[in-house]
Chains A and B, each alone.
Chain A
Amino acid sequence: MKKNILIFIVFLLIAFVLPFVLSVYGIDLVSEIFIMAIFAMSLGLIMGYAGMVSLGHAGFFGIGAYTVALLGPHIPNSYLLLFFSICLSGLLALVTGAIFIRTSKFYFLMITLAFGQLLFALAWQLKQWTGGADGMKVSAPLNLGFGEIVSPIGIYSVMAAAFIIVYLLLRFFVESPVGKIVKGIMENEARMSALGYDVRIYKLLTYTFSGALAGFAGSLYGFYNLFVSPDVSSWMFSGQVMMMVIIGGVGTLIGPAIGAGLFIFLQNFISTYTERWPIIMGALLVILVLVGKGGIIHWFALLKSKIFYKKRKNSDDYAPQHVEKEEVVN
């Protein structure tokens, strides 16, 4: 626990120092990373802590983004806009989740995919409101009570604060009864039911919370990007976020955030050299799946256990079993 607090403080320091060392472009990029990290963590929650693999999570992101875009001109209060985004996406997650969760694992994946694509199609087809495929401008100034925030550093601070808040919320959630119980359900659903838990309620609570967070990320994106297009709801985007989760590591909170950082960085870096980023991304994913060992966060753990293993070996001590297995593989 102490170690976690230490890491958290180090992170705060880095987040504080970054704006002073980065260019405006860099600051902008890191702001986007914070938003995507929130989004990826929300998906990481249902994937890694509840065993629900969704390919439609961008649907909630899109709801958040379009809520800001569509209501922005009518509601000048940023807090209200954020609140509406969270409520709408959470409500939608609650209603759709109640239906989706009854189905089996593959069905859930396919249905969520169709659901995200439905919102994509609606954003595309309801041209009179959304501007269709061309997307729409967001005219909602971000104002949190101390003046309009337009400077890159201002935006950066808001996104960093949002990220920290969401991270803490998630941390509290996974330690809470519902968080522990839903993880128990992921491991052994039949037994949880026999112990007296209504498993659907717990899955639904988690899914709703996750959907609301994705909506929150989407609304931040609306404020950040000042432009939204149907692509924010497409299943391809859902898949990319799933990539971030996998790159970082399923089953941890911070892993997906790290994955989001790496993904956005690579995307921007490679896109400056070639238009063929999708091919490279697809190929990277294939390679990651074939040779990756559970994502970056687990590589760290692996590395650490290896170092400790060597130390322990020298002191002629007991070595954990899984490390031995890794040694054989290599």
Chain B
Amino acid sequence: MSLSIFSVQLLTGLAYGMLYFMIAAGLTIILGVMNIVNLAHGTLFLLGSYMAFTFMNQQFSFWIALLLSVAVTAVIGIIIEKLFIRQIYGKELEQVLLTFGLAFVIADTAKWIWGTEPQTMAVPALLDSSISIGPMVFPFYRLFVVLIGCLLALLLWYFESKTRIGAIIRAGVDDRAMVSALGINVGVVFTGVFAFGAGLAALSGVLGGPLIGMYTGMESDILVTSLIVVVIGGLGSWKGSFIGAILIGLIETFGKIWFPSLSMLIVFLLMVVVLIIRPQGLFGREVA
């Protein structure tokens, strides 16, 4: 593999990794704080992506479309949490099933509205060029996605370790009873966490649009990949998700070049290896 191909694949892998990080960060924190495996998380990604696509067709710019669809998806997240999930706090199997039902409803509604034809999204004009260093060419947009991912990681790190809300959420992951004992309104925290996760999923979906496009079944692919990221990284750990996501992004990208028909198998085997060595994930707590 020549240096030029290698370098651009490296960047692509990193960019995919950042997309996975964005969606997995929401998934892992919802799981960590609320004890819910949100199976509808992939469809929120899909929804964010499709909505931005529609907004752009209405002559909105990429950036406005990005903001709008993240905001709308976050609101949908609030509705889902308040209308459905709130009714069955503490019943874990029921919650899984509920999000599964919602996944069906949302995915099929998306199919109804946007059809089954694969769609593509244009790279925003501002970023539609590349930078070259010697024989290596780096598309701006992918650099941009990597940058956003790193910024998000920094932001989450700051949020978690330096702010009061972050401390509350961290306490919630470790000990839920503690949070309510402190007199904090757990309901508000849960709604916030769920909306935040939904927004992140949409962000990932929109930013992923120009790279991945939109197709039926994408929500399953993305859900499975982000679940694997969460498993590798450790439950409720943003740091773990970040590292896990980058690992998966790179392995998947290079796997597709070297073993096109076995890329999923390689990702899965990585997860199995991590699980054999550390059943609680790379950065999971001892008692998972």
Which chain A residues have a beta carbon within 8 Å of chain B's beta carbons? Answer: 53, 55, 99-100, 102-107, 109-111, 113-115, 117-118, 121-122, 125-127, 234-236, 239, 242-243, 246, 250, 276, 278-279, 281-286, 288-290
- CB of A122 within 8 A of CB of B265, answer yes
Task: From B102, B220, B261, B288, give the contact of A235 (CB < 8 A).
Answer: B220
Choose from A113, A125, A242 the contact partner of B260 (Cβ within 8 Å).
A125
Partner of B100, one of A107, A111, A239: A239
Q: Is the CB of A110 within 8 A of B231?
A: yes
Report yes or no: B93 in contact with A114, Cβ–Cβ below 8 A: no
- Interface residue count on the B side (C-beta < 8 Å): 46
Q: Is B279 an interface residue (CB 8 A)?
A: yes
* B153 interfacial by beta-carbon distance below 8 Å: no
Instruction: Name the B residues within 8 Å of A126 (CB-CB).
Output: 261
Bound form: Cα–Cα A236–B107 in Å? 11
Instruction: Report A256 CB to chain B, min CB distance, Å.
Output: 14
> Would B262 and A106 count as touching, CB distance under 8 A?
no
Query: With A and B bound together, what is the CA distance between A45 and B87 in angstroms?
Result: 28
- Whether A276 touches B98, Cβ cut-off 8 Å, given contacts A103-B275, A122-B265, A234-B220, is no
| Residue among B104, B112, B230 with max Cβ neighbours from chain A (10 Å) | B104
Please name all residues of chain A whose beta carbon is closer than 8 Å to the beta carbon of B94 when the two chains form the complex. 289
Beta-carbon contact of B227 and A110 below 8 Å? yes
Give Cα A117–Cα B225 distance, bound, in whole angstroms: 10
Known: A106-B31, A235-B220, A289-B98. A122 touches B279 (CB 8 A): no
The answer to whether B261 and A114 touch across the interface, beta carbons within 8 angstroms, is: no
On chain B, the residues within 8 Å of A284 by CB distance are 101
| Closest chain A residue, CB of each to CB of B259 | A125
B88 and A103 within 8 A (CB): no
B39 within 8 A of A: yes
Query: Is B224 located at the chain interface by the 8 A CB criterion?
Result: yes
17 A-B pairs within 8 Å (CB atoms) are namely A103-B275, A103-B288, A104-B235, A104-B288, A107-B281, A114-B271, A125-B261, A125-B264, A234-B220, A242-B100, A246-B93, A246-B97, A278-B108, A279-B104, A282-B108, A289-B88, A289-B101
Q: CA of A51 to CA of B108 in the docked complex: distance in angstroms? A: 31
A contact residues around B227 at 8 Å (CB) = 110, 113-114
- Asked whether, in the complex, the Cβ of B264 is within 8 Å of the Cβ of A118, the reply is yes
**Residue pair A276, B112 in contact (C-beta under 8 Å):** yes
The smallest beta-carbon distance between A229 and chain B, in angstroms, is: 13
Tell me if B152 counts as interface (CB < 8 A to partner A). no
Q: How far is the CA of A298 from the CA of B103 in the complex (A)?
A: 26
Q: Are B37 and A109 in contact (CB under 8 A)?
A: yes
Residues of B12-46 contacting chain A, CB below 8 A: 31, 35, 37, 39
> Closest approach, in angstroms, between the C-beta of B1 and any C-beta of chain A?
21
Given A107-B231, A113-B227, A114-B271, A121 contacting B97 (CB threshold 8 A): no
Which residues of B91-116 have CB atoms within 8 Å of chain A's CB atoms? Answer: 92-94, 96-98, 100-109, 112
Is the pair A111, B275 in contact by a Cβ cutoff of 8 Å? yes
Q: Cβ of B76 < 8 Å from any Cβ of A?
A: no
A107 touches B288 (CB 8 A): yes
Residues of A within 8 A of B60 (CB): none
Q: Are A286 and B98 in contact (CB under 8 A)?
A: yes
Q: Does B102 contact A110, Cβ atoms closer than 8 Å?
A: no
Q: Which residue of A lies closest to B231 (CB)?
A: A110
> What's the nearest-Cβ distance from chain B to residue A207, in Å?
16
- Report the minimal beta-carbon distance from A44 to chain B, rounded to whole angstroms: 13
For the complex, what is the distance from the CA of A55 to the CA of B59, rounded to whole Å? 41
Smallest distance from the beta carbon of A57 to chain B beta carbons, Å? Answer: 14
Which residues of B are found within 8 Å of A242, using beta-carbon distances?
A: 97, 100
- The residue that B98 contacts in the complex, of A53, A103, A110, A285, with Cβ under 8 A, is A285
User: In the complex, what distance in Å separates the CA atom of A114 from the CA atom of B103?
Assistant: 16
Contact of A239 with B261 in the complex, beta carbons under 8 Å: no
Q: Are A103 and B265 in contact (CB under 8 A)?
A: no
Contact A285 B101, beta carbon cutoff 8 Å: yes
Q: Is the CB of B264 within 8 A of A290?
A: no
Q: A103-B280, A279-B112 are in contact. List 5 more A-B contacts (CB 8 A).
A: A107-B281, A107-B288, A114-B228, A279-B105, A289-B98
**Nearest CB in chain A to that of B32: its residue:** A106
Contact of B97 among A115, A235, A243, A278 (CB under 8 A): A243
Q: Which 7 residue pairs are nearest across A and B when measured between Cβ atoms?
A: A282-B104, A285-B101, A282-B105, A121-B264, A278-B108, A125-B261, A286-B101
Q: Is the CB of A289 within 8 A of B37?
A: no
Chain B 244-282 interface 0/1 with A at a Cβ cutoff of 8 Å (1 = within)? 000000000000000011111100100110011001110
Q: Is the CB of B101 within 8 A of A125?
A: no
Please, how many angstroms separate the alpha-carbon atoms of A126 and B261 in the complex? 6
Asked if B96 and A125 sit within 8 Å, CB to CB, the answer is no
CB pair A236 B220 closer than 8 Å: yes
User: With A109-B37, A289-B88, A290-B87 in contact, do A117 and B220 touch (Cβ < 8 Å)?
Assistant: yes
Nearest Cβ on chain A to B252's Cβ, whole angstroms: 11
A99–B37 CA distance with the chains assembled, in angstroms: 20
Shortest beta-carbon distance from B95 to chain A in Å: 8
Chain A residues lying within 8 Å of B93, measured Cβ to Cβ, are 53, 246, 250
